[in-house]
């Protein structure tokens, strides 16, 4: 194969990480630039191009890139655009796929980070061979990428898969960043866990290691550290979080009946503190026909490489589409919305 590599680019609010990836998911080399350095997108693109080419030259990979996949907040696979994003410094709407494709002369496809994570897991990780699964990313927010029949679910407008914004508490729910109340994300993200800690500490009297920390600066990591030390209240916070995730996963199952739900992100590393109550709650709340059928497993991608790998998975799709047109996989930049 004359073009054996793809380029994965993950545009985060702080760093833009990129890497050269082969078909087996080996990251040959990676590097990064600062996302916020240039408020002019063309200046950002110039720097990205220069740094990518430096990496390609150093790895004998110039002209060997089949496609480029990009994961970025709010990126729309169908339109190739980012319509708006408060975390990125450039004027919106931004025709990201088109501009990167023109600059690099390579097909480009884009999607949001949680969808990229799902594609990465399906291409190189825990979801290899699975045709129906849901990826849940437990980070600052709760993101999701849904795969049905081996295809990522984009929905009619490209914005499907916002499972973090399923309503879990219909009365007196916590305010969510989306402007509504009671969303899963307001409870089961890293910030949600910290909010639960503050709530528990305020309404209870029992002692806890968490009381040694100024209440407004408590993080989910603090809760984890306390729970590992056996702190009862901290363990109950994980029970509460796992219980709600289990309720949510039972509801997701009646929709798409996935073979597995795959967890990624900081909170997913809490091990059985989170997984035991989560799995118990999921089975308890599961519709009988689905009981014992849905696996909850952890991502198999190394955290340091996951974002680049996820984005790169879309690079294969963009590149293949260029070689043999296919309505599902046409590069976003060239695709006309139906």
Nearest to 282 by CA among 273, 292, 297, 268: 292
Contact between 301 and 266 (Cβ < 8 Å)? no
Nearest to 17 by CA among 120, 86, 92, 95: 120
CB of 56 to a second copy, least distance (A): 34
Per-residue binding string, a second copy, 274-313, x by CB under 8 A, is -----------x-xxxx--x--------------------
Nearer to a second copy, 161 or 331 (CB): 161
Using rule CB under 8 A, residue 128 touches a second copy: no
Binding-site member from 157, 206, 272, 303 for a second copy (CB under 8 A): 157
CA dist., res. 239 & res. 114, Å (int): 25
What three-state secondary structure class fits 7? strand
Tell me how crowded residue 297 is: count the other CB atoms within 10 A of its CB: 17
End-to-end CA distance of the chain: 33
Place of tokens 């294969």: 316
What three-state secondary structure class fits 11? strand
Stretch that binds a second copy, among 34-42, 50-58, 153-161, 306-314 (CB under 8 A): 153-161
Per CB under 8 A, contacts with a second copy among 214-273 are 247, 250-252, 254-259
CB of 294 to a second copy, least distance (A): 9
Nearer to a second copy, 8 or 182 (CB): 182
Place of tokens 């639960």: 196
Using rule CB under 8 A, residue 338 touches a second copy: yes
**Residues of the shown chain interacting with a second copy in the complex, contacts defined by CB under 8 A:** 130-132, 146, 148-149, 151, 153-163, 165-170, 178-180, 247, 250-252, 254-259, 285, 287-290, 293, 328, 338
């Amino acid at each position: 194969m004359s073009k054996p590599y793809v380029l994965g680019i993950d545009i985060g609010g702080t760093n833009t990480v990129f890497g050269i990836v082969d078909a087996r998911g080996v990251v040959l080399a990676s590097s990064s630039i600062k996302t916020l350095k240039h408020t002019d997108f063309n200046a950002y693109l110039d720097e990205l191009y220069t740094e990518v080419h430096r990496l390609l030259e150093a790895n004998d990979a110039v002209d060997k890139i089949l496609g480029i996949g990009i994961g970025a907040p709010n990126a729309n696979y169908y339109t190739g655009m980012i319509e708006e994003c408060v975390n990125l410094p450039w004027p919106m709407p931004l025709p990201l796929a088109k501009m990167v494709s023109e600059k690099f002369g390579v097909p480009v496809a884009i999607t949001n980070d949680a969808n990229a994570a799902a594609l990465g897991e399906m291409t190189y990780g825990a979801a290899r061979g699975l045709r129906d699964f849901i990826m849940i990313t437990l980070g600052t927010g709760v993101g999701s990428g849904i795969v049905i029949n081996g295809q990522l679910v984009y929905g009619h407008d490209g914005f499907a898969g916002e499972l973090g914004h399923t309503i879990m508490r219909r009365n007196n729910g916590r305010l969510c960043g989306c402007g509504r109340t009671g969303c899963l994300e307001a409870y089961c993200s890293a910030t949600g866990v910290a909010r639960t800690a503050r709530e528990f500490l305020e309404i209870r009297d029992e002692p806890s290691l968490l009381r040694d920390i100024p209440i407004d600066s408590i993080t989910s990591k603090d809760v984890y550290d306390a729970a590992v030390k056996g702190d009862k209240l901290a363990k109950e916070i994980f029970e509460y979080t796992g219980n709600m995730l289990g309720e949510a996963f039972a509801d997701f199952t009646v929709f798409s009946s996935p073979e597995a739900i795959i967890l990624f992100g900081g909170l997913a590393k809490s091990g059985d503190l989170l997984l035991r109550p989560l799995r118990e709650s999921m089975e308890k709340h599961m519709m009988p026909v689905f009981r014992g059928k849905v696996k909850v497993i952890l991502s198999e991608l190394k955290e340091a490489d996951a974002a680049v790998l996820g984005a790169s998975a879309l690079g294969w799709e963009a590149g293949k589409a260029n070689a043999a047109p296919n309505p599902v996989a046409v590069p976003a930049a060239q695709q006309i919305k139906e």
